[in-house]
């Protein structure tokens, strides 16, 4: 049996243009997750889903670490000069 994938679209991304949407994201969706809220959500997840969540989170962390490792050290300097 194929498990359906759930996809969510932020409606604001359909209304605001690229740069404005990015600003809106930074103001309304900071990159620091609300740990207490996340804990409440995860408490309600079945054990099998928790394992899937852990697997996906670990895969994302591995990919993110690979991207950081692959970045040239001069990227930060070049971005500040632009």
Indicate whether 82 belongs to any domain.
Answer: no
Indicate whether 1 belongs to any domain.
Answer: no
Residue 79 vs residue 44, higher pLDDT: 44
Q: Structural domain of residue 59, as residue ranges?
A: 32-71
Indicate whether 23 belongs to any domain.
Answer: no
Give the residue from 26, 21, 19, 1 showing the smallest Cα distance to 11: 21
Give dist(CA 69, CA 72) in Å, integer. 8
Indicate whether 37 belongs to any domain.
Answer: yes
Indicate whether 39 belongs to any domain.
Answer: yes
Tell me what pLDDT residue 76 has: 57
Indicate whether 65 belongs to any domain.
Answer: yes
Is residue 79 pLDDT above 80, yes or no? no
Indicate whether 42 belongs to any domain.
Answer: yes
Indicate whether 50 belongs to any domain.
Answer: yes
pLDDT in tens, 4-56: 888 888 888 889 888 888 888 888 776 666 778 889 889 999 999 999 999 99
- How many distinct structural domains can be found in the chain? 1
Tell me what pLDDT residue 38 has: 84
| The residue to which tokens 């679209």 are assigned | 9
């Amino acid at each position: 049996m194929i498990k359906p994938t759930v996809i969510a679209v932020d409606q604001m991304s359909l209304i605001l243009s690229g740069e404005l949407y990015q600003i809106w994201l930074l103001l309304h969706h900071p990159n620091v997750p609300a740990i207490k809220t996340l804990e409440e959500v995860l408490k309600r997840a079945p054990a099998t889903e928790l394992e899937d969540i852990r697997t996906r989170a670990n895969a994302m962390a591995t990919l993110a670490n690979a991207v950081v490792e692959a970045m040239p050290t001069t990227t930060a300097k070049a971005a500040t000069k632009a």
